[in-house]
């Protein structure tokens, strides 16, 4: 075997070598006659952050963009922000008003999305120490209280009050389709006082007691730990699992705590770059995190049926870190991110079909908007820039949104570490195949293209008239950043330059649509540049 390159990286002390050989041209074998499952669009969820921006015109427009582009076809995660709800009554007790939540929830529900509600920030009226807080500079220094309550029964009542409110306002059947989660990354001192996980277990138990005392049907989850720390210190997750199964519940005194799903965060890298396990952002690193989390869950027989929800993911963490601090953050501007997304979906599908790990939705975290945007294409974890230029990542979601309702048999032969493919059909009307060539170690895409042969066994009689369309994301297509770069990366683009960039920022076809008559099967050679995505669509004509 002649080796073209060797990519070596480490996970947990085990060396993983990716050997690229001069192998036969990969064949994408597609059998559209064979349905293998329903497309539940598990990737089509997002964290809208900051939640407060939903009160702005930009926030409303951005929410609509996420829905129309296919990012949030399922769910949106927001905070209920108890700090804005609590007030002191005349008799000295604490009450709650949820108008701010209602405004924002109504917008999301009007888009046809479900809600994942994060119960986050301690009301200052019940905080043990209101000085335990963090400031949010993008909201005029607004304080977020991150310490425990004076009395956990007060926190429990706050959680119950919110639950009563939403059930009364939105109805039991609708709220039963939402998810509630307790806090955010309590293992980090910036989100929870001293990252004290013993105190977090008290917080979770009283959250669960408050919610379930009002409405048992809404799914609740935790512990929402940070991905990087959990990978390095897995016992943080394991101890939470032990607590909810065999330890004494701090709210009820009974054994164990209710939980309906396990909320986790996993990223492809840290600090807007790779990690100590992989120099570059890595789908494999993210998948390994999830495999380990699922394995830890399965150590506890009582939890094996409990699903995992990935409440945050991204090409890398540190959403507000841009290229000025970390040059590798540039990949969040380029087709690299779209190829990462497509490869992630492919690897998820393989894992789910092979092992049925009970992993449900994945939520991309778009937290790059949290800090002021000063120019376009800063490299932050966003899908759109200051002047409304769509990034290639958003086009990756647009291509995924075009997939049909049924998965079909589709695979790469021989199996490849850098080429992925999966396919769908819409009844007998359209067959779609999405494929990507992703090299995480080539952030500039400076690797030769791969030629693949797509072989389609279609469901139609020979001679059926059809239209073939080929959508592409690469260095020259569906890539506003490439246009922006060719223009010299202007800090203040002219009106003409803005128009020029926006003209190229949506999904584009590689070539004009072809009209053809199908034979008994179809074969198509496709040349895939490095870090490129293609969507092929065969649509039967009347």
Q: 3-state SS string over 202-265?
A: HHHHHHHHHHHHHCCCCCEEEEEECHHHHHHCCHHHHHHHHHHHHCECCCCCCECCCCCEEEEE
Give me the pLDDT at residue 22, please. Answer: 55
**pLDDT of the residue at 16:** 36
Res 156 pLDDT > 90: yes
**pLDDT score at 140:** 82
Cβ atoms < 10 Å from Cβ of 139? 13
Q: For CA atoms 31, 32, 33, 34, give the dihedral sign.
A: positive
Round the average pLDDT of the chain to a whole number and report it: 95
Q: Is the pLDDT of residue 377 over 70?
A: yes
pLDDT digits (tens, 9 = 90+) for 105-147: 999 999 999 999 999 999 999 999 999 999 987 788 899 999 9
Domain with CATH 2.60.40.1500 in the chain: 24-37+405-540
By C-alpha distance, which of 261, 232, 259 is closest to 245?
Answer: 259
Fold of 40-401: TIM Barrel (3.20.20)
Is 50 exceeded by the pLDDT of residue 9? no
| Structural element, H or E, at residue 363 | strand 359-366
Q: Looking at residues 293-317, what average pLDDT do you find?
A: 99
Residue 452 has pLDDT above 70, yes or no: yes
Answer for the pair 505, 396: CB distance below 8 angstroms, yes or no. no
For residue 21, pLDDT over 80 is answered with: no
Q: What is the dihedral of CA 118, 119, 121, 127, to 10 degrees?
A: -170
Return the number of other C-beta atoms located less than 10 Å from residue 470's C-beta.
17
Give pLDDT, residue 136: 85
Cα separation values, 458 from 355, 471, 472, 516, 539, Å: 28, 19, 22, 14, 11
What is the tens place of the pLDDT at every residue in 236-260?
A: 999 999 999 999 999 999 999 999 9
Nearest to 532 by CA among 347, 403, 341, 348: 341
The pLDDT value given to residue 24: 76
The architecture of the domain spanning 24-37+405-540 is Sandwich (2.60)
pLDDT band per the 50, 70, 90 thresholds, residue 23 = low
pLDDT digits (tens, 9 = 90+) for 523-542: 999 999 999 999 999 999 99
Host H or E run for residue 82: helix 82-85
Rounded to an integer, the average pLDDT of 503-512 is: 98
Residue 171: Cβ-neighbour burial (10 angstroms; 0-12, 13-18, 19+): exposed
* Domain(s) of CATH 3.20.20.80: residues in the chain: 40-401
d(CA 519, CA 497): 46
């Amino acid at each position: 075997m002649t080796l073209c390159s060797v990519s070596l990286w480490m996970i947990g002390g085990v060396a993983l070598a990716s050997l690229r050989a001069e192998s036969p041209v990969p064949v994408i074998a597609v059998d559209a006659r064979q349905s293998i499952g329903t497309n539940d669009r598990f990737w089509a969820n997002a964290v809208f952050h900051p939640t407060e921006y939903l009160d702005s015109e930009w926030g409303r427009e951005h929410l609509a963009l996420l829905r129309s582009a296919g990012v949030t076809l399922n769910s949106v995660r927001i905070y209920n922000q108890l700090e804005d709800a609590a007030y002191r009554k005349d008799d000295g007790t604490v009450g709650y008003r949820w108008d701010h939540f209602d405004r924002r929830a109504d917008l999301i529900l009007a888009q046809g999305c479900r809600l994942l509600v994060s119960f986050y920030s301690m009301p200052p009226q019940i905080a043990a120490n209101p000085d335990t807080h963090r400031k949010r500079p993008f909201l005029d220094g607004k304080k977020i209280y991150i310490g425990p309550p004076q009395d956990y029964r007060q926190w429990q009542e706050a959680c119950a009050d919110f639950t009563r409110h939403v059930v009364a306002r939105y109805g039991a059947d609708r709220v039963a389709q939402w998810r509630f989660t307790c806090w955010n990354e309590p293992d980090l001192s910036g989100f929870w006082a001293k990252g004290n996980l013993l105190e977090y277990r008290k917080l979770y138990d009283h959250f669960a007691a408050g919610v379930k005392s009002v409405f048992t049907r809404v799914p609740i989850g935790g512990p929402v730990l940070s991905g990087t720390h959990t990978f390095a210190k897995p016992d943080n997750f394991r101890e939470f699992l032990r607590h909810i199964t065999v330890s004494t519940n701090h709210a009820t005194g009974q054994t164990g705590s209710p939980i309906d799903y396990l909320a986790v965060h996993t990223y492809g890298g840290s600090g807007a770059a790779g990690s100590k396990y992989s120099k570059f952002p890595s789908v494999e690193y993210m998948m390994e995190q999830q495999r380990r989390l699922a394995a830890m869950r399965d150590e506890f027989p009582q939890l094996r049926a409990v699903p995992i929800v990935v409440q945050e993911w991204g090409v890398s963490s540190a959403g507000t870190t841009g290229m000025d601090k970390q040059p590798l953050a540039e990949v969040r501007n380029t087709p690299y991110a779209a190829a990462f997304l497509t490869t992630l979906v492919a690897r998820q599908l393989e894992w789910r079909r092979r092992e049925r790990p009970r992993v449900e939705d994945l939520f991309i975290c778009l937290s790059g908007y949290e800090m002021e945007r000063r120019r376009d294409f800063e490299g932050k974890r966003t899908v759109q820039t200051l002047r409304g230029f769509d990034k290639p990542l958003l086009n990756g979601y647009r291509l995924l949104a075009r997939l049909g309702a049924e998965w079909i048999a589709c695979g790469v032969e021989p199996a490849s570490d850098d080429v992925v493919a999966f396919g769908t059909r819409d009844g007998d009307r359209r067959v779609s195949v999405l494929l990507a060539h992703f090299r995480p170690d080539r952030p500039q895409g400076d690797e030769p293209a791969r030629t693949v042969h797509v072989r389609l066994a279609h469901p139609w009689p020979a001679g059926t008239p059809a239209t073939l369309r080929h959508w592409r994301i690469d260095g020259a297509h569906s890539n506003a950043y490439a246009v922006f770069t060719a223009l010299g990366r202007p800090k203040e683009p002219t009106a003409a330059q803005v128009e020029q960039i926006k003209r190229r920022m949506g999904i584009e076809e590689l070539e004009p649509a072809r009209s053809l008559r199908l034979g008994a099967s179809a074969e198509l050679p496709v040349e895939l540049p490095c870090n490129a995505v293609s969507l092929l669509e065969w649509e039967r004509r009347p």
